Structure 1
Amino acid sequence: MTLLEQLEIKHAIFLAPMAGVSTPELAAEVSNQGALGSLGLGASTAEAARQQILATQALTDQPFQVNFFCHQSAALDSQTAQQWIQHLQPQFAKYGATPPEQLRCIYPSFLDNDDFLNVLLETRPKAVSFHFGIPHAHQIQALKNAGIITLVSATHLTEAQAIEAAGIDIIIAQGIEAGGHRGIFNQSFDSCIKTADLVQLLKKHCSAPVVAAGGIMIGQQAKAMLQLGADAVQLGTAFVQCKTSNANDAYRKALFNQPLTQVTASISGRPARGLINHWHTQVDAPDRPPVAAYPYAYDLGKQLHAAASQQGDHGFGAFWAGSNAAQIRELEAADLVNQLVLEMNIA
C-alpha cells in the first residue's frame, strides 16, 4: 500500500502542523483539495484541541493530521531562569515594561499524561504526528488500536531508527531548512543535515514511508524531493500567508518584506528557524547567558513580544519560517495546493 492509499489522499502534499498559525479552516481547505491538512495542537489545552478537531471535521470529510509535542518536561532551573530574565530586562525596559519574576510552563507534553490521547481516541482524526520525541508505548498501541496513523519528526538517522523501532507508521524527515522548531529529541545534539540529504539517508536505512520537510516552497522543489525517494512533502511557511491561517498582519508582511531566516533558541528555549529580527540581532550576542528551558523561555519571549507590540514594534515576534521563504506566493490554500500539483507534474 502506498502512502497516499494509506492516508486516503490524492496528492503527496502535507500541510505542516503549525501551532498558533494553523486553523480548522486552513486544514479543511487543504484537505478538500486532496492534500493532507493539519492542526498544530501542541500549544492547546486538551479541550481546545478537541474543539479544533471537531471544527475541522465539520468543515471537511477528508483526512487530516493533528500534531502534539513530545518533549521531555523539564523542571525549571531557577538560577538559569533568573539569569535569562535579567538578560532580557533591558529589552523590556525599552518599552516601559517589567519582566515577570517567575516563568511558567506554558506548553504541556503529550508524554505528561493521557489527556490528549483520550481526545484523539474520542475524535478519531485520520492521523496524528509528534514533534520533539516519541509517545509512550501504551499511547502508540492505543492509537494503533483506534486505527489512527502515527507520524514522528526525525532530524537525523538515529532518531528515525528509534521512530521506526517504536512502531510509528510514517517518518517526517525534517531538514535544517525547516521553519519553526527543530524536532530534535536531544537538544545537546543536532546534526543540522539538509532535507535532501536526510531523505536519501532515511530511504536507504529505513523501511517506513518518509515525508520530506524543510525549505520546500514551490512545486519544483517538492518534485525534486519525490525524485530523491520521498513518499510525500510537507510545507508550512508557504501556507502561512493564506487568509485562513492565524498569522497576524505583522507576520504576513514580514514574510514578504524580510524573508531571511536564522535558527535561534532564544525565543522559546529550543532551536527554531524564523525570520531574522531583534532576537537574532540584539539578543543572540556572544555574551548571551544560557537560555531558560523550553517552554519557560517561551513564556518570557511571548511577554516581551506583547510589550513591544503595544509600542508598535513587532521585532520580537516568533515569526517562524523556513529557508527559501522569499519564494512564497500570495495564494489562498486551495489555489496553492493546485499550483503545487501543477508544478510537480511539469516534465
Structure 2
Amino acid sequence: MFKDLLRYPIIQAPMAGGASTPMLAASVSNAGGLGFLAAGYKTAKEMEGEIAQTRQMTKRPFGVNVFVPGHEVVDESSLSAYHEKIEKEAKSVGVAIGNAHSDDDDWQNKLAALKEARMAIVSFTFGCPSSDVISELQSVGTLIAVTVTNLQEAKKAAGAGADVLCVQGIEAGGHRASFENRTEDDYGLLVLIRMIENELKLPIIAAGGLMHGKDIAAVLAAGATAAQLGTAFLRCPESGASPVHKEALGNPRFTRTSVTRAFSGRRARGLVNHFLTEYDSVAPVAYPYVHHMTKQMRKAAGQKNNPELMALWAGQGFRLSRELPASELMELLIEELK
C-alpha cells in the first residue's frame, strides 16, 4: 500500500539535473516523508550508485524517478535557426553550443537495474510506460506512480496499471510532465486533483507550488493522499542545486516564474532571466535536442556565477522557500500541517 511508505504525507520531488541527491532523499525519508532520487540525465550505473548510497543512509523507503523516452519528429531547420540565435550566449561564457541530438536516457538498462533493486516505488515522467513494463516492476514488489497533467493522461496511466498518480498542476517548477511535448493543457493543481479524484479511485500525489504545511493541508482536503514538494527543498544544504541557483531563489532581482521551452525544447517553469526573456518565443518544440544544445552553456554560466544563462527551475511559490536542513524543514512542515 502506498500509504505505508510514509509516516507523514510529504514527498520530496525528484529534481533531475543534480538537485536531488542521496543525502536529500535519505534525510527526508528518515524524517518520516518519502525521499526521491532523480534518474533523469543519468546512466543506469550512476542511478544504481545513488540507490546504493541512499540505502547506506536510510532504512526507510525511498523512490526513483525515470524519464519515459519520447519519439517526436523535429524540424531540423528550426534547430539550426535556434543554434544560430543562441550561439553568442554560449560564447559569452566560453563554450560552444552542443550537438542537438536525441537519446532514450538509458531506458532499458534503467528498467533492468530498477527491477534488480526492488525499489519501494518508481515514478515515471514524460509519458506512461507500457503495461508490461509496469507489471514487470510490480512483480518484484515495486509500486508504480505515473506523473500526469490532465484527466486523459490520468486515465491512460490507470488503464496501464499504475498504482498511484502524481498529479502535476501548472504551478510546478521544472519540466511539465505531459505525455506529449506539444500538450499545453494547463490546470491549476486543486482543480486537477478534483477532476481526477472524481473519476478515478487511485491514490493521488499532489505536485505544484506547494511550500508550506497549509498548502499540504489544502491538497489533502481536495482529495490527495500526499503532497510532493520540490522547490521547497532546493535551498536545503543536502540539495545538489548549484549555489547560484539557490542564491537566485532569494534574490530580489528575480520576481516571477514563467513556463518556457527556451532551455530544453520542452515546457518548464523557471525564474525569468535574460535567456528565458530573449529566447522563449523562438525556441523550437524539440526535446531533448535543445537540452543538449544548451547544456554546456548552462553549466559554464553556473561556474561563472551568471544566473542569466541558467535554467533556474522553480515553482510559483519560490519566494516562500526556506534555507534549512532537510530534517528541520520536514519538522517545520509537519508542525504547520498539524
Query: TM-score, length-normalised on structure 1?
Result: 0.92
Partner of 1:330: 323
Mind listing any 5+ residue stretches in structure 1 that lack a counterpart? none
Query: What secondary structure is seen at the aligned counterpart in 2 of 1:140?
Result: helix
Q: Which amino acid aligns with 1:261?
A: T
Q: Percent identity?
A: 37
Other-structure match for 2:34 = 36
2-side partners of 1:55 and 1:92: how far apart? 35
- 2:246 paired residue number: 252
In the TM superposition, 1:1-347 aligns within 5 A as 3-5=2-4, 7=5, 9-19=6-16, 20-74=18-72, 77-95=75-93, 97-100=95-98, 102-105=99-102, 108=105, 110=107, 114-257=108-251, 258=254, 260-285=256-281, 288=282, 290-291=283-284, 293-309=286-302, 311-345=304-338
Is the alpha carbon distance of 1:35 and 1:88 closer, same or farther for their aligned partners in structure 2, counting shifts above 3 Å? same
CA contact (8 A) 1:219 1:343 kept: yes
Secondary structure at the residue paired with 1:158?
helix
Please report how far the alpha carbon of residue 259 of structure 1 lies from its aligned counterpart in structure 2 after TM superposition.
Answer: 5.1
Cα distance in 2 for partners of 1:246, 1:66 equals 16
Q: Tell me the matched-pair count.
A: 335
Q: What is the CA-CA distance between 1:313 and the residue it aligns to?
A: 2.2
CA deviation string 1:192-218 (max 9, x = no partner): 100011111111011101111001000
Rounded Cα–Cα distance in structure 2 between residues aligned with 1:245 and 1:118: 27
Mapped partners of 2:302, 2:59: distance in 1: 39
Quote the Cα distance in structure 2 between the aligned partners of 1:107 and 1:253: 33
How has the CA–CA distance of structure 1 residues 333 and 184 changed in structure 2, closer, same or farther, with 3 Å as cutoff?
same
**Residues 115 and 96 of structure 1, relative CA distance in 2, 3 Å threshold:** closer
Q: Which amino acid aligns with 1:27?
A: A
Q: 2-side partners of 1:268 and 1:109: how far apart?
A: 18
Name stretches of at least 5 consecutive residues in structure 2 with no aligned partner.
Answer: none
2-structure distance, mates of 1:243, 1:106: 32
Distance 1:58 1:302, change over 3 A: same
Code of the residue aligned with 1:323 in structure 2: it is Q
Separation in 1 of the partners of 2:212 and 2:293? Answer: 35
d(CA) in 1 for partners of 2:274 and 2:324? 28
Q: CA deviation at 1:266?
A: 1.1
Distance 1:120 1:55 in 2: 15
Structure 1 residue 159: Cα displacement? 0.4
Q: Distance in 2 between matches of 1:52 and 1:259?
A: 34
Is the CA contact 2:69–2:104 (under 8 Å) kept in the aligned structure 1?
no
Whole-angstrom CA distance in 2 between matches of 1:129 and 1:341: 24
Deviation at 1:137?
Answer: 2.2
Q: Is the 8 A contact 1:65 1:128 kept in 2?
A: yes
Which region of structure 1 is more displaced relative to structure 2, 21-30 or 81-90?
81-90
Whether the 8 Å contact between 2:301 and 2:310 is mirrored in structure 1 is: no
CA distance in 2: counterparts of 1:188 and 1:217, whole angstroms: 28
Contact kept? 1:242, 1:330, Cα under 8 Å: yes
Cα displacement (A) at 1:76: 5.5
Distance 1:170 1:250, change over 3 A: same
SS of 2:236's equivalent in the other structure is coil
Is the CA contact 1:69–1:109 (under 8 Å) kept in the aligned structure 2? no
The runs of 4+ residues in structure 1 deviating greater than 6 Å are none
- Counterpart CA distance in 2 for 1:136 and 1:165 is 10
Paired AA for residue 144 in structure 2: T
Contact 2:244/2:306, CA 8 A, preserved across alignment:
no
| Equivalent pair of 2:97/2:294 in contact (CA under 8 Å) | no
Q: Is the 8 Å Cα contact of residues 66 and 128 (structure 1) preserved in structure 2?
A: yes
Q: Secondary structure at the match of 1:67?
A: strand
Question: Partners of 2:138 and 2:203 in 1: how far apart?
Answer: 17
Aligned-partner residue type, residue 343 of structure 1: E
Contact between 1:4 and 1:11, CA under 8 Å: does it hold in 2? no
